[in-house]
A and B are shown apart, each in its own frame.
Chain A
Amino acid sequence: MTKEERIDNIKRISGTDVRKCMKCGKCSGRCPAFKEMDIKPHQFVTMLAKGKIDELLESKAIWNCFSCMACVERCPRGVAPAAVIEAVRDTVVRMQGKNGLKAEEIPPIVDELIPQQLLVSAYRKYNK
């Protein structure tokens, strides 16, 4: 996969239009993991827009994001920074090959109220 394809792929997975961002920073304004993140939520959006994905793929922030969706909730433009972070994380995981979580390791009782995306991303994060 070329870099361009990868950029497109991340954009596609995230399902968000990064050009809609007006750079207000509200996402980072409320991010509970802000301090731990080397690249901030708003930067994920702008950097993806600029195609700077090498840094993103290297970033530690993707493992620090709680996927709490506060940024998605707050964004006045309907951009979803968490989805971008998730897409980057997803890409990184895919690049690592097959070491995903096994089905039998999934806890038998899962709280229905937990967002699906949070669960999925949690599996990815803690399964390295």
Chain B
Amino acid sequence: MQRIGVFICWCGSNIAATVDVKKVAETIKNEPGVVYSENYQYMCSENGQQLIKQAIKEHNLTGIVVGACSPRMHEATFRKAAEEAGLNPYMVEIANIREHCSWIHKDMDEATEKAVILVRTAIAKVKLNAPLQAGESPVIKRALVIGGGIAGIQAALDIADAGFEVDIVEKNATIGGRMAQLDKTFPTLDCSACILTPKMVDCAQHEKIDILSYSEVEEVKGFVGNFNVKIRRKARYVDETKCTGCKICMEKCPSKKGLNTFNMGLNPRPAIHIPFAQAIPNVAVIDPEQCIKLKTGKCGICQKFCGVGAIDYEQKDTFIDREYGAIVVATGFKPIALDNFNEYGYSDNKDVITSLELERLMNAAGPTDGVLLRPSDGKHPKVITFIQCVGSRDTSGCGKPYCSKICCMYTAKHAMLIREKYPDTEVHVFYIDVRTPGKNYDEFYRRAVEQYGVDYIKGMVGKVYNENGKLMVQGSNLIDNEQITIESDLVVLATAIEPEPSVRKVATLLTASIDTNNFLTESHAKLRPVESPTAGVYLAGVCQGPKDIPETVSQASACAAKVIGLLAKDKLKTNPCVAMADENMCNGCSQCANVCAYGAITYVEKEFRLGGGKTEVRRVASVNPAVCQGCGACTVTCPSGAMDLKGFSSKQIMSEVEAICKM
């Protein structure tokens, strides 16, 4: 027999001024199952909670209803109080008689009547509540970082430093990512390689970090604390354990006409190559599309010359399975393709380049050894025009609707560096707005203008065309309300950035949600910015939204902190209000799994007893309580009603409906 206790809160005058709380408590005393009903000024106060605890003990209550403020406010408080008094915390229901009653109604009779109904409704529900236990699941103390750019590197280092094993899966042959391609970094202008490569080396040398380069995530199963990941190790045709990085193969390789992707295709590279000098791992890789041996079966020169016998043309993709407790996604970005922007003449003119290409042209390790020479004829450009917002803030459908965030700063950086290194160069920048929030950022931009004399033009370029070997940049100067044409030698486009396309596959594997721009969605824009809605999956860097290096690194460290917090636990407490399938009624039709956003439902074959000693094997759904978030989508999809949600069961909700309609 149920023994329900009801506690009506006055909330000072917040409730009591419009709801006759004493009358509510009195009326409710007559409800079947109610053995105790009381009212008090502040139920949430220490004394109020004491009252509840005492009543639970004295009256042997099996469930309680608190008529008070919104459950979003104090449900946790009252659950804790109940637990302390020895009552299962899930035997508590809140009737919201403040926000949903006293605060919105003026008439006391009306509000009192409604309060009674709301309390009755909560009683109807609590009568069907079942004691729930938060489940536990073990945590595998190892993290996976997808992406070996600065975000992945930072996250991995922080996690590893806390003593946990980390694997970095990087799809390219080396870690380092976009930052490795950069020349200098704003606003301090330190050399990118100088600050990044030590971190890369740290990763390689860290005993807790395992770098799986040239690898991709193929399959993810499991859930927070218990991910099961299949990783494809792509064939690099070079034995990683043997290669010493001596580069003799690169010298001897006869197929030298491949595009050096690390240098944005600005110079050629051999079929067998190490992406760049400080690559980690410092191991060669063969591009099978370019390799003569792999394409025709003839050649094999590199193998001949390799002193350690590292070359293996027979190598195949291999798969490894690993278990992780947490996953950090740091898949990064790429500049968008400029196919939709013919007006800038990118594909027609070698000397119209993207900013990332400029980075390589200015980099000491780049194709021009750091001397700024224009691609077409290798001459020093005298007039350089930068165009900002190329493809950013574009709602016409050609580009991206968002601001790419980093362009203003790196354009200022480029302009400044050029003016410093080649003072005889004229530098123009077309801009719509200059956005420089951040420490020392606006100062940096102003320095470009004030100290280095960069010509900033408020306006946008309408066309870039070639006239007698000169790049004519025609645009508006809005401040002077004129249209100008600048004869330039080099045009640099501040191209919008977009998430690395492979993120879509990763997101699907992880059931992490993605927005219309392919950025991964965070769990809460403000309060949970580094967590994905999928528990145990964290987001670092540009895969979540445009950001610069300092922000990326902060986010990566924040991710690491979250991961460490998770891995530090031996077991995870799980939300007990999760779905549960009644095996006896389940048809195994898979409809529930189709709507589950978390992949919490799997199917098992089970044997059931029929009458007459017969048995039958049926396919039935099984919900992983550690993965289920308790939305209930599956419960409605299930035609047989086998799927139900604990804490919000169909019977509970229907009895609430009944109680409300009973007038």
Chain B residues in the interface with A (C-beta under 8 A): 343, 389, 393-399, 432-433, 458-463, 474-478, 481, 483
Q: Is the CB of A76 within 8 A of B395?
A: yes
Pair B462/A24 contact, Cβ less than 8 Å: no
In the assembled complex, which residues on chain B have CB atoms less than 8 Å from the CB atom of A34? 476, 483
Within the complex, the shortest CB–CB distance from A23 to chain B, in Å, comes to: 7
Q: Which of B394, B461, B462 contacts A77 (CB 8 A)?
A: B394
CA distance A26 to B475 in the complex (A): 7
Q: How far is the CA of A24 from the CA of B461 in the complex (A)?
A: 9
Question: Are B343 and A30 in touch, CB under 8 angstroms?
Answer: yes
Decide: A29 and B432 in contact? CB cutoff 8 A.
no
Residues of A within 8 A of B477 (CB): 25
Q: Return chain A residues, CB-CB under 8 Å to B398.
A: 76
Tell me, yes or no, whether A22 is within 8 Å of chain B by CB: yes
Asked if A75 contacts B396 (CB within 8 A), the reply is yes
Asked if A28 contacts B393 (CB within 8 A), the reply is no
B478 surroundings in chain A (CB, below 8 A): 23, 25, 28, 42
| A22 near B393: Cβ-Cβ < 8 Å | yes
Q: Report which of A22, A35, A42 forms a contact with B476, defined as CB distance below 8 A.
A: A42
Task: Choose one: A29, A35, A76; the contact of B396 (CB below 8 Å).
Answer: A76
Residues of A within 8 A of B396 (CB): 75-78
CB-defined contacts of A92 to chain B, threshold 8 Å? none
A71 closest partner in B (C-beta) = B462
Do B389 and A76 touch across chains, with their CB atoms under 8 A apart?
A: yes
Say if the beta carbon of A27 comes within 8 Å of chain B: yes
The answer to whether A25 and B458 touch across the interface, beta carbons within 8 angstroms, is: yes
A64 to chain B, nearest CB (A): 13
Q: Is the interface of B mostly helix, strand, loop or mixed?
A: loop
Task: List 19 A-B pairs, Cβ < 8 Å.
Answer: A22-B432, A25-B475, A25-B476, A25-B478, A26-B462, A27-B476, A29-B460, A29-B462, A29-B474, A29-B476, A30-B343, A30-B462, A34-B476, A34-B483, A40-B476, A76-B396, A76-B398, A77-B394, A77-B395
11 additional contacts (CB under 8 A) given A29-B462, A30-B474: A22-B433, A25-B475, A25-B476, A26-B460, A29-B475, A29-B483, A30-B343, A30-B462, A40-B476, A76-B394, A77-B396
Is B459 touching A25 in the complex (CB atoms < 8 A)? Answer: yes
In Å, the complex CA distance between A35 and B463 comes to 16
Say yes or no: is A125 at the interface (Cβ < 8 Å to chain B).
Answer: no
A24-B459 contact in complex given A76-B393, A77-B394, C-beta closer than 8 Å: yes
Contacts of A75 in B (CB 8 A): 396
When C-beta atoms are compared, the residue in chain A nearest to B461 turns out to be A29
Give the residues in chain A near B459, CB-CB below 8 Å.
Answer: 24-25, 28-29
Please determine whether B461 and A26 come into contact, CB atoms closer than 8 angstroms: yes
Residues of B within 8 A of A24 (CB): 389, 432, 459-460
Is the CB of A88 closer than 8 A to any CB of chain B?
no
Interface centre among B394, B399, B477, by most chain A C-beta atoms within 10 angstroms, is: B394
B476 CB contacts on chain A under 8 angstroms = 25-29, 34, 40, 42
Query: Which partner residue on chain B sits nearest A43 by CB separation?
Result: B481
Whether, in the assembled complex, A70 has its beta carbon less than 8 Å from a beta carbon of chain B, the answer is yes
Contact, CB under 8 Å: A28 / B483: yes
Bound-complex Cα distance A75 to B476 (A): 13
Q: B463: which of A23, A30, A40, A43 is its contact (CB, 8 Å)? A: A30
CB-based nearest B residue for A28: B476
Complexed CA–CA distance, A20 and B395 (Å): 9
Contact with B along A1-45 (1 / 0, CB 8 A): 000000000000000000010111111111100110000101100
Closest A residue to B398 by beta carbon equals: A76
Max chain A C-beta neighbours (<10 A), residue from B394, B399, B462, B475:
B462
Q: How far is it, in angstroms, between the C-alpha of A22 and the C-alpha of B393 when the chains are bound?
A: 9
Which chain B positions have C-beta within 8 A of A20? Answer: 395
For A29, the closest partner residue in chain B by CB is B462
Q: Report the bound CA distance from A30 to B462 in whole Å.
A: 4
Known: A42-B476, A74-B343. A28 touches B462 (CB 8 A): yes
Least CB distance, A109 to chain B, in whole angstroms: 31
A31–B474 CA distance with the chains assembled, in angstroms: 9
Residues in B whose Cβ lies below 8 Å from that of A35:
483
How far does the alpha carbon of A41 sit from the alpha carbon of B483 in the complex, in Å?
11
Question: In the complex, A34 Cα to B463 Cα: how many Å?
Answer: 14
Query: Do the beta carbons of A27 and B462 come within 8 Å of each other?
Result: yes
Give complex CA distance A122, B395 in Å. Answer: 30
Chain B contacts for A78, CB-based, 8 A: 395-397
Top 10 closest pairs, chain A to chain B, by CB = A30-B462, A29-B462, A26-B460, A25-B476, A28-B476, A29-B475, A76-B394, A24-B432, A34-B483, A25-B459
A28–B393 Cα distance when bound, in Å, is 18
Which one of A20, A43, A75 has the highest number of Cβ atoms from chain B below 10 Å of its Cβ? A75
**How distant is B471 from chain A, measured CB to nearest CB, in Å?**
15
B389, B397, B460, B477: residue with the most chain A Cβ atoms closer than 10 Å: B460
B432: chain A residues within 8 A (beta carbon): 22-25
Identity of the chain B residue whose Cβ is nearest the Cβ of A37 in the assembled complex: B483
Cβ contacts under 8 Å, A27 to chain B:
462, 476
Q: How far is the CB of A123 from chain B (nearest CB, A)?
A: 27
Interchain CA distance A41-B544 in the complex, whole Å: 37
Q: How far is the CA of A29 from the CA of B473 in the complex (A)?
A: 9
* Interface 1/0 per residue, A39-78 and B, CB below 8 Å: 0101100000000000000000000000000100011111
CB neighbours of A77 from chain B (8 A) = 393-396
Interface centre among A20, A27, A42, A74 (most CB of B within 10 A): A74
B462 touches A31 (CB 8 A): yes
CB of A82 to closest CB in B, whole Å: 13
Q: How far is the CA of A70 from the CA of B432 in the complex (A)?
A: 19
Chain A residues with Cβ below 8 Å from B475 are: 25-26, 29-30
CA distance A6 to B462 in the complex (A): 31
Complex alpha-carbon distance, A99 and B394, angstroms: 41
Nearest CB of B to A15, in Å: 15
Nearest to B457 among chain A residues (CB) is: A25
A35 to B395, CA, bound (A): 28
| Docked pose: A40 CA to B460 CA in angstroms | 14
A35–B481 Cα gap in the complex (Å)? 10
Q: CA A58 – CA B476 in complex, angstroms?
A: 23
